[in-house]
């Protein structure tokens, strides 16, 4: 979907709205879109480093997810830093992301697309929030998973090998690649 910065009517409060177009043939949410909404609703507000869903709206042609507005994503944060990210800031970001992923896994969800553009940053005070649950899924051991999930450069070896039997550790791999990007 496309994300827009919007202002609440009659106030100065800013937030983000993710507008996700429904399938053109049926004007219904796809299974993946419905799953994303359900996961966000079930996790919203339960962990400070997971994207909070403020609300949602269904229209005839799209559905809209309302979320807090963040300064930038981690990729932009890394690129805009005048010098490498300090050890202290890197440690803060990594700690918060580990906590978010641990919470997801404890609740038997896989994110399946952990990468810097899906990690939102607030600078004062420094906070990292894992967002974009479009690829997320409940993890049920033993059931095959969709191959080729996750962005190529953050994909775990078992997914690269087209194995359908990957598990929660693939998120940990993606998280590790993200750590390397922060450190470099």
Find the length of the chain: 184
What's the angle, vertex CA 56, arms to CA 148 and CA 13, rounded to 5? Answer: 115
pLDDT of 165 reads 78
pLDDT of 9 reads 84
Residues in contact with 162: Cβ distance below 8 Å, sequence separation at least 6, in sequence order: 147, 148
Q: Which residues of the chain have pLDDT under 70?
A: none
Query: Is 73 an active-site residue?
Result: no
CB burial of residue 99 (10 Å; 0-12, 13-18, 19+):
middle
Please identify which of the residues 2, 12, 58, 113 carries the catalytic annotation: 113
pLDDT of 156 reads 86
The model's pTM is 0.90
pLDDT of 120 reads 96
**Helix ranges, the chain (H):** 31-43, 74-80, 87-106, 157-160, 169-183
pLDDT of 17 reads 94
CB burial of residue 39 (10 Å; 0-12, 13-18, 19+):
buried
Residues in contact with 91: Cβ distance below 8 Å, sequence separation at least 6, in sequence order: none
**Sign (positive/negative) of CA torsion 174, 180, 181, 183?**
positive
pLDDT of 131 reads 95
pLDDT of 150 reads 78
């Amino acid at each position: 979907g496309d994300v827009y910065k919007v202002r609440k009517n009659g106030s100065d409060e800013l937030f983000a709205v993710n507008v996700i177009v429904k399938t053109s043939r049926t004007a219904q949410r796809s299974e993946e879109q419905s799953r994303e909404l359900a996961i966000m609703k079930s996790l919203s507000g339960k962990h400070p480093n997971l994207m909070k869903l403020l609300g949602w709206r269904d229209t005839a042609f799209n559905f809209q997810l309302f979320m807090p507005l963040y300064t930038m994503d981690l990729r932009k944060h890394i690129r805009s830093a005048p010098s490498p990210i300090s050890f202290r800031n890197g440690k803060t970001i990594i700690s918060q992301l580990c906590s978010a992923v641990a919470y997801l896994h404890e609740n038997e969800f896989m994110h399946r697309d952990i990468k810097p553009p899906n990690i939102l940053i607030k600078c004062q005070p420094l906070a990292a929030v894992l967002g974009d649950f479009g690829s997320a899924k409940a993890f049920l051991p033993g059931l095959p998973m969709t191959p080729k999930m996750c962005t190529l450069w953050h994909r775990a070896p078992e997914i690269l090998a087209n194995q359908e039997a990957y598990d929660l550790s693939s998120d940990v791999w993606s998280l590790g690649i993200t750590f390397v990007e922060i450190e470099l």
